[in-house]
Chains A and B, each alone.
Chain A
């Protein structure tokens, strides 16, 4: 689970994240919306232990962030970049991640991860030869191979076609149902609203609106989101 209390991060004089408080339990999925520059990525990086808070507190499973390797071991990170080595095969990429995270049976775990993402067929192909959608699937396999309890996804739907996005959403739902905590930054309202248990809109570093599932009238929410997101 993730907990943040008045979490703040400043860069010089600028407050990228300004007093954000949130509490997510196992099985929760938070969709994080907001215009560019709202602080979403910064917030995610703090949850991932990649950035130190400058104010307030945050913790994962009770361990204060940024913590150390023991916290990062529980987190799976997804981005719109593939985070894959183009010259290596899909399997080699996933196995490398498995090794870094200390997964016991590297080969088996990698095979399983690729299989769950429907990428087994392409396991031995160099990543650079795969389609964007397939690369994203391999990237997800890489991010999940160590069975993280926390998944932080920064615009993971970028570049995916409709079927790829649907596959990803269904995987997220499956993980959510098996007890993981997810935070998904996205501009893709539809996909996110259909699978999240909480939704937040950020602007200028602050959470300006926070809703718990079930999210009311999707169309109204969308209109509200557009209105809030436009004037920064």
Chain B
């Protein structure tokens, strides 16, 4: 099996960042070792939003240009994005429990990510429910565009809810000032995860192309007569 350069670089960077995070980055004073989940949690969130952004852009472009490649991109980015969104939702509570004492605290960002997760799932379930390729691409694109326009409102309303709604005061884990050594690790983790995303996106894209070609060969007619 041929291993691409991108795969090697992506995996190597992620491994390198983890090693740096675990062994070469100091433990944060107030939160202890649990704080290091930040180096997985934060970049995962970044990728989750980046992936969603790409789904939105690809969707808009698809409705305009009707190029099937754009649909492959949207489909791939959605699946990869879902994985990273799931990672955010898993690492969040794991981090919250030792630091805040509760797994889920309706923190604005995490709550928003939860709703985003459902948007992703809805998108993928929609795709799975349509056989005809052209209709599937079109409908997904419509959902992608709607998502792009309305997701900011989800963020705003959740944020408003959290800031205007009296709730028990909690410690905010990501303190604004981090020592440079930590910042470097954090930034590196963002870069590494982005590479990981690009690699996974590309692989998933190739799969989408191959599967479409195979469907065509196997079933010949697809779509309305």
> Could you list which residues of chain A lie within 8 angstroms of chain B, going by C-beta atoms?
11-14, 16, 36-42
Can you sample 17 A-B contacts with CB below 8 Å?
A: A11-B132, A11-B133, A11-B222, A11-B224, A12-B133, A12-B134, A12-B212, A12-B216, A12-B222, A13-B216, A14-B216, A14-B222, A36-B225, A38-B225, A41-B224, A42-B224, A42-B225
A205 CB to nearest chain B CB (Å) = 10
B193-225 vs A, Cβ < 8 Å mask (1 yes, 0 no):
000000000000000000010001000111111
> Could you list which residues of chain B lie within 8 angstroms of chain A, going by C-beta atoms?
68, 132-134, 212, 216, 220-225
Known A11-B132, A16-B225, A36-B225; 11 more pairs at CB < 8 Å: A11-B134, A12-B68, A12-B134, A12-B212, A14-B216, A14-B220, A14-B223, A16-B224, A41-B224, A41-B225, A42-B225
A39 CB to nearest chain B CB (Å) = 7
CA distance A39 to B68 in the complex (A): 22
CA distance A131 to B192 in the complex (A): 68
Residues of B near A41 (CB, < 8 A) are: 224-225
CA distance A40 to B132 in the complex (A): 18
Chain B residue nearest to A16 (CB atoms) is: B225
Residues of A near B132 (CB, < 8 A) are: 11
A53 CB to nearest chain B CB (Å) = 14
Chain A residue nearest to B135 (CB atoms) is: A11
CA distance A41 to B132 in the complex (A): 16
Shortest 10 CB-CB contacts between residues of A and residues of B: A11-B223, A12-B133, A37-B225, A13-B216, A41-B225, A37-B221, A11-B134, A14-B221, A42-B225, A16-B225
Known pairs A11-B133, A11-B134; A16 contacts B223 (CB<8 A): yes
B80 CB to nearest chain A CB (Å) = 24
Residues of A near B134 (CB, < 8 A) are: 11-12
Chain B residue nearest to A41 (CB atoms) is: B225
A81 CB to nearest chain B CB (Å) = 14
CA distance A37 to B212 in the complex (A): 20
B68 CB to nearest chain A CB (Å) = 7
Residues of B near A38 (CB, < 8 A) are: 225
Chain B residue nearest to A40 (CB atoms) is: B225
Residues of B near A14 (CB, < 8 A) are: 216, 220-223
Residues of B near A37 (CB, < 8 A) are: 221, 225
Residues of A near B212 (CB, < 8 A) are: 12
Residues of A near B68 (CB, < 8 A) are: 12
